[in-house]
Amino acid sequence: MRRGGQVWAWFWMILGIVYFFLPLVATFLFSLRAKLGVLSFVAYQNVLSDPDFVYSFSASVLWAVLTMVVGILIFVPTAYVIRLRLPQFRTPVEFITLLPFVIPAIVYVFSLVRTFSRPPLLIVDSPALLVAAYTVLSMPYMYSAVDTGLRAIDVRTLTEAAQSLGAGWGTILFRIILPSIRVAILSGTFLSFAIVMGEYILAQYLVKPAFAPYMAYLIQQKAYEPAALAVVSFALTWASMGIIQLFGRGAPGRAQVAGGH
């Protein structure tokens, strides 16, 4: 590359890093100033010892885990069947999976409330509705991750090889396809996890305990604690990413999956 080009490349990269990290560093420094005149972790202590924090955070973790499980159970078989038997449905299904990007969450949640708060489907109070809604919200990430993973392996031939060795559908799906796209599924589920952990509108309007509404509530009440909470949630997201990397490293299916990205 030309020398001038290299200088500009560095310039833009540093600018990007500053743009991303500056607010984060500022938030972190601010969160340390809860005690006048000294830097301390008092705000973190306050937040972490608040029973409301523990309650809303563990509620969000529960929603996120349920969303991950439901997502795997729905999207892995769907993407698999479409790859194997119904390739003509790939484009319409891809379009449908992208709908959560197009439809604003506020519109989505009001339509849910309207539809499910009257008979015959009076389930607006059920946690299942929230998990279902989160599953829809995580669909673009989950489906495309799984689909990319499937594209990297020869789904049809692997299926046929397993069939010729006597395997039924359950064995094929859970012993061959699922482990072969483990890394892709992990990246999809952790993205879903991060989405659910930070989601505000659905939990707020379906009136369920969750981390983001708690954070919003805290912002209105306190100064330093919300900043500490923001840093904590960032750390969580990064930990998720780290776990993806950790699981991905040295995984047997890695060579194949990495080829597809």
Partner 1 sequence: MAYLVLDHLRKAYGPALAVDDFALEVEKGEFVSLLGPSGCGKTTTLRMVAGFEVPDHGRILLDGKDITDVSPNQRHLGMVFQAYALFPNMTVADNVGFGLKVAKRPKAETTKRVEEMLGLIKMPKLGDRYPYQLSGGQQQRVALARALAISPQVLLLDEPLSALDAKIRVELRVEIRRIQQELKITTIYVTHDQEEALSLSDRVVVMSAGHMEQVGAPSEIYNFPSTPFVASFVGTLNQLRCKVVDVGQGKLSYDGQIFETRAPVRGAQGATVTVMLRPEQMHIGSLSDENQLTGKVEMVTFLGSIVRVRVGLGQATVVLDLLNKRSLELPRVGEPITVSFPPHACWVMAEA
Write out the residues near partner 1 by the rule CB under 8 A: 153-154, 157-158, 160-168, 171, 176, 179-180, 182, 252-253, 255-256
Select 56 or 180, whichever has its Cβ closest to partner 1.
Answer: 180
Q: Minimum distance between the CB of residue 161 and partner 1, rounded to whole angstroms?
A: 4
Give the nearer residue to partner 1 in terms of CB position, either 5 or 250: 250
CB of 257 to partner 1, least distance (A): 9
CB-wise, 169 or 234, nearer to partner 1?
Answer: 169
Using only the alpha carbons of the chain, give its radius of gyration.
22
Shortest distance in whole angstroms from residue 158 CB to partner 1? 6
**CB of residue 52 vs partner 1: minimum separation in angstroms?**
43
Q: Using the minimum distance from each CB to partner 1, give the nearer residue, 125 or 154.
A: 154
Residue (35 or 156) nearer to partner 1, CB: 156
How many angstroms separate the CA atoms of 208 and 231, rounded? 23
Q: How far is the CB of 172 from partner 1 (least distance, A)?
A: 9
